[in-house]
Structure 1
Amino acid sequence: MLELACFTASSALTAARAGASRIELCASYTSGGVTPLLSTLHSIRDELQRSSPSTATIPGAPTAEHGQIPIYIMIRPRGGDFSYTPTEFEAMKSSIDGFQAIGDGAVQGFVFGILTADARVDGPRCRELVELAAPLPCTFHRAVDGVADEDLEGAVQTIVECGFESVLTSGGAGSAREGVERVAGLQKKYGERITLILGGGVRSSNVVGLKREAGVRWVHSAAITGPGEEVDEAEARRMVALLQHV
């Protein structure tokens, strides 16, 4: 399964055409992804409703209501670190409320991650957001790769206990290639309790080998191959095609 990070409405539509399994909708690639505008989601939904009712081409890929590609929303009030002030935390809660209010299956899940000032998973705050988002599932994003190296397993354990459906990680490394062995270890230990999503520099040139080595079902990519923040449709299609045989 391929999740594509999309930073614009046009990229989300490209991801749907290419046959991605899911969209992680964000804004601001240069900031590493922040909460998108409600208007961006409305634009995507309107266009998808005018297009084919079924966009996913990977066998067994999940679909949202109306047969459209599922969209998970990034909840991150700013770039930079993942330790948030009380005001920023309230903004995160307001964002979840705002996207949930759209209804009609427009949002299928949320993506966020909060760390404490000493770089540990902030269990109480994360649990509060997971409960607020319910019944929609949540992914803990690559903030997990910012915890102390020796604390990665403990971080995943806390994420499991908070009720997250999945965790996006490069295994605590700068890239999936560097951390794939640790992800494989996490998959063996936690794979029956949480979905591990491998991310960090995943492209068509390495996706098959990385997925096999990690033993995960899901991989994550931005599929950006040039300047800017747009999904490269040809690259996305290559990954979709390759993953059909893994």
Structure 2
Amino acid sequence: MSKIEIACFNPESAITAFENGADRIELCDGLSEGGTTPDFETVKQLHERITIPMFVMIRPRGGDFTYSNEEFEKMKSDLIQLKSLNVDGFVFGILDENDEVNVEQNRELVKLAEPYPCTFHRAFDRAKDLETSLEKVIDCGFKTILTSGQEANVSEGKENLKKLVELSASRIEILVGGGLRSSNIEEIRQYTKAQYFHSSAITDGGAYASAEEVMALKSK
């Protein structure tokens, strides 16, 4: 049975994921922007209700993953504030102007998050050079990389995902996500040998996780 993280863009989805067997929640806001930092009060209330691990997105806006000094300061202050709630981990990813992993800024945030683990999100799929980027992310101290194998979705990226699982050699968790559904998880798992999978479990083009889809993902 796979481990499943559900990307939740609202409190309702987080409760659905929790009640239907998800192993972890990635909590964010801004569905149309691909995920941004959620509201402090929302995180606080959910943290009191949910007993599975909840990782919180730190991303000040949609768009690219290269941030101004002001945006980086905002990411730091948001992380410090959310850390006070004792959430279980953080999700972020910063690239430089050349679309390479910004080691200095990522390392600073990872350090700030201690002792909580951090996931480098799908900014990885925009980064140059698969192997170099993998080593940089490991070097920054991340515990997990969320990736579709630097392709548009997990089906197109499955060769790279398999390669990442092999290259990581258990030094970092490869969290497979991007177009992942209960309909393709078995094939992707068998091909890549990954063990942790990420999905929004949204099946109707709306904004809310489907209880049936969470259960289906978990049962595969």
Q: Please give the range of the TM-score, normalised by the shorter of the 2 chains.
A: over 0.9
CA–CA separation in structure 1 for the residues paired with 2:85 and 2:199? 27
- CA shift, 1:212, in A, is 1.4
Runs of 5+ in structure 1 lacking a partner?
A: 49-67
User: Which runs of structure 1 show a deviation greater than 4 angstroms over 4 or more consecutive aligned residues?
Assistant: none
Please show how residues 6-155 of structure 1 align to structure 2 within 5 Å: 6-48=8-50, 68-103=51-86, 107-148=87-128, 151-155=129-133
Higher relative contact order (CA 8 A, sep 6+): 2
Counting matched residue pairs gives 218
Tell me which residue corresponds to 1:230.
208
Q: Structure 1-normalised TM-score?
A: 0.87
- CA shift, 1:37, in A, is 0.4
CA–CA separation in structure 2 for the residues paired with 1:71 and 1:147? 26
- CA shift, 1:147, in A, is 1.6
Q: In structure 1, what residue type is equivalent to 2:54?
A: I
The percentage of aligned residue pairs carrying the same residue is 42
8 Å contact kept, 2:47–2:54: no
Q: Structure 2-normalised TM-score?
A: 0.97
Q: In structure 1, what residue type is equivalent to 2:99?
A: A
Q: 3-state SS of the aligned residue for 2:156?
A: helix
Let me know the Cα RMSD of the aligned residues: 0.9
Q: In structure 2, what residue type is equivalent to 1:123?
A: V
CA–CA separation in structure 2 for the residues paired with 1:186 and 1:5? 22
CA–CA separation in structure 1 for the residues paired with 2:47 and 2:168? 34
Tell me which residue corresponds to 2:139.
161
Q: In structure 2, what residue type is equivalent to 1:75?
A: I
CA–CA separation in structure 2 for the residues paired with 1:177 and 1:231? 21
Residue-by-residue CA offset, 1:188-223 (whole Å, 9 max, x unaligned): 111321110111100010011111111111010001
Tell me which residue corresponds to 1:54.
none
CA–CA separation in structure 2 for the residues paired with 1:9 and 1:147? 31
CA–CA separation in structure 1 for the residues paired with 2:88 and 2:46? 14
Runs of 5+ in structure 2 lacking a partner?
A: none
